[in-house]
Amino acid sequence: MNRKTAPTRAKPADPCCFVIFGATGDLTHRLLVPALYNLAVEGLLPEAFALLGVARSEMSSEAFRADLAKTLPKFATRDIDQRAVDRVLASVTYVQGDPDDNATYERLGRELERVEGERQTKGNRLFYLATPPAGFAPIGRHLGNSGLAREEDGPWRRVVIEKPFGTDLASARALNQELLSILKEDQIFRIDHYLGKETVQNILVLRFANGLFEPIWNRDHIDHVQITVAESLTVGRRGAYYDGTGALRDMVPNHLFQLLSLIAMEPPSRFAADAVRAEKAQLLDAVQLVDRDEALRNAVRGQYGEGIIDNKPVEPYRRTPNVAADSTTETYVALKLMIDNWRWANVPFYLRTGKALSAKQSEVAIKFKQAPVAMFRDTPIDRLAENFLVIGIQPNEFIGLEFNAKIPGPSIAIRGVGMTFKYQDYFDTAPSTGYETLIYDCMIGDAILYPRADGIEAGWRVVQPFLDVWREQPDKDLATYRAGSEGPKEADALLAKDGRRWRPIA
């Protein structure tokens, strides 16, 4: 076995003030502060750094700091290094205010000036919008009107927008327009936490740093592609958000389309933000837009009923707190998409995602065309195993190749075998929140992992016909599936009518 390789070292990010709107929320405690702490441990957080929390609750900076001190050990992904904890906490200030009130921005402005002087952060500011989506446009407007996000005379000003970016094509366009009337595109960082996953980033390296795959990465050799993001988690306490959203909006135009575009994009001319983002947007732009009949034919939506997961009984989705008793919101979606370009014509891409499934499993599986079995016609062999290249994203991080091998012995017999590369065998990485690289990249101004306005809109354009047809016919074809199963049988039929089948979720 090779000796394990530690992660590459990088230099600390630019001095800056990290301003979090929605600072008392779950995201701040669970992910953002633990990620900043991990950056501090790795020496990537700049020495000149300040963290400013903005939220509505009446609270002093001391109380906010004490709150973070309590939750950080709970959510930290690695052992606590008290010096790094103290360093992060010492940088914290709290600003109370309604994010839709001018006075908040006056107070924030004064506090920023004070802190910037004290901590020498050079005027660089990163505004992180960790609020519910209704806050994105108003906060953007206030940051614009107050001048706090204006870039002039050197220092950078960047705004990170959380998901969901819009709820459909029209709202995503409107949000882009609004933000772009205040900020330049290179100041806007639309976050998709799937791009923070190492295995997702590695798709680019697998495809473009190896001479092996690109020549066969096309319709001449690939039969179809399956993209699965399965969760065993139920909707749990997120009913209020989820019931108005559904699996399609929650997962597809963002996370699944990031996987799709990385898998199917053309090679970018350079490994640089604009080149990569342009190719990704182009790919999404080439996905065939479906009419209403095709939308019904090429999609399956399902909702989980009761069942058992991890030996525990699960209530049906409709009995989740804050979910309507007659809800038609889908907790599962499967789509068949076609891409209208030279590389992918006639190669179906099957995507599926759902809650309360049998296991958590995210993977991309590329099925290569079958070898002609005819050569073996005078032997007992009547079928060959399928050739899959599988990229395991989580929880198992691997790349596996499935192919046929001869069973040892005097007669010819064949069975499918596998060759697997596991990340953990080669690389020594400390567990992380998945936000570290994204935050660090934003602090150094590298937007390669952040989708651009055109990419976001191209994604919504693809899912819009499905949203429309389901809105018009809320009950039509809503399948149900048992919690703890692999999804509705209708999803199996989606592939079966093309003579294909899903890989198991195990």
Amino acid sitting at position 78: R
Q: Is the dihedral of CA 473, 469, 334, 393 positive or negative?
A: negative
Q: Which of 133, 147, 309, 335 is nearest to 235 (CA)?
A: 309
Cβ proximity of 231 and 238 under 8 Å: no
According to the binding rule CB under 6 A, does residue 250 interact with ligand BG6? yes
Cβ proximity of 389 and 399 under 8 Å: yes
What's the CA gap between 122 and 157, in Å, rounded? Answer: 11
Q: Which one of the listed residues 29, 142, 224, 255 is annotated catalytic?
A: 255
According to the binding rule CB under 6 A, does residue 30 interact with ligand BG6? no
Token pair belonging to 395: 């929880």
Nearer to ligand BG6, 163 or 369 (CB): 163
Instruction: Quote the least distance from Cβ 8 to ligand BG6, whole Å.
Output: 23
Token pair belonging to 109: 């402005």
What's the CA gap between 472 and 263, in Å, rounded? Answer: 32
Q: What angle do CA 189, 286, 266 make, to 5 degrees?
A: 70
From residue 397 to residue 436, the character string flagging contacts with ligand BG6 as x (rule: CB under 6 A) and all else as - is ----------------------------------------
Contacts to ligand BG6 from residues 442-481, by CB under 6 A: none
Instruction: Quote the least distance from Cβ 250 to ligand BG6, whole Å.
Output: 5
Active site residue 29: no
What's the CA gap between 308 and 320, in Å, rounded? Answer: 15
Q: Which of 359, 397, 366 is nearest to 264 (CA)?
A: 366
Q: Which of 68, 59, 132, 67 is nearest to 100 (CA)?
A: 132
Token pair belonging to 308: 């058992």
Nearer to ligand BG6, 250 or 285 (CB): 250
Contacts to ligand BG6 from residues 213-232, by CB under 6 A: 231
Cβ proximity of 185 and 155 under 8 Å: no
Among 150, 163, 221, 500, the residue binding ligand BG6 under the rule CB under 6 A is: 163
Ordered DSSP codes for 214-245? GGG-STTTEEEEEEEEE-----GGGHHHHTTT
Instruction: Quote the least distance from Cβ 12 to ligand BG6, whole Å.
Output: 27
Nearer to ligand BG6, 133 or 144 (CB): 133
Nearer to ligand BG6, 57 or 322 (CB): 322
Nearer to ligand BG6, 223 or 231 (CB): 231
In 237-387, which ranges are E strands? 299-309, 312-314, 332-337, 349-354, 361-368
Instruction: Quote the least distance from Cβ 231 to ligand BG6, whole Å.
Output: 6
Nearer to ligand BG6, 231 or 285 (CB): 231
Token pair belonging to 283: 């790919």
Phi, psi (deg, nearest 5) at residue 58: -70, 120
Taking CB atoms, the residue at the shortest distance from ligand BG6 is 250
What's the CA gap between 478 and 332, in Å, rounded? Answer: 10
Q: How many amino acids of this chain bind ligand BG6 (CB under 6 A)?
A: 3
Nearer to ligand BG6, 222 or 351 (CB): 351
Cβ proximity of 502 and 352 under 8 Å: yes
Look-up of token digits 């150094």: 444
Instruction: Quote the least distance from Cβ 134 to ligand BG6, whole Å.
Output: 16
Task: Identify the H or E element spanning 416.
Answer: strand 414-422
Q: Is 61 exposed, middle or buried (0-12, 13-18, 19+ CB in 10 A)?
A: middle
Edge to edge, the sheet with strand 157-161 lists: 92-96, 49-55, 16-21, 125-129, 157-161, 188-190
Nearer to ligand BG6, 91 or 228 (CB): 228
Nearer to ligand BG6, 26 or 498 (CB): 26
Q: Which residues are catalytic?
A: 255
Binding positions for ligand BG6, rule: CB under 6 A: 163, 231, 250
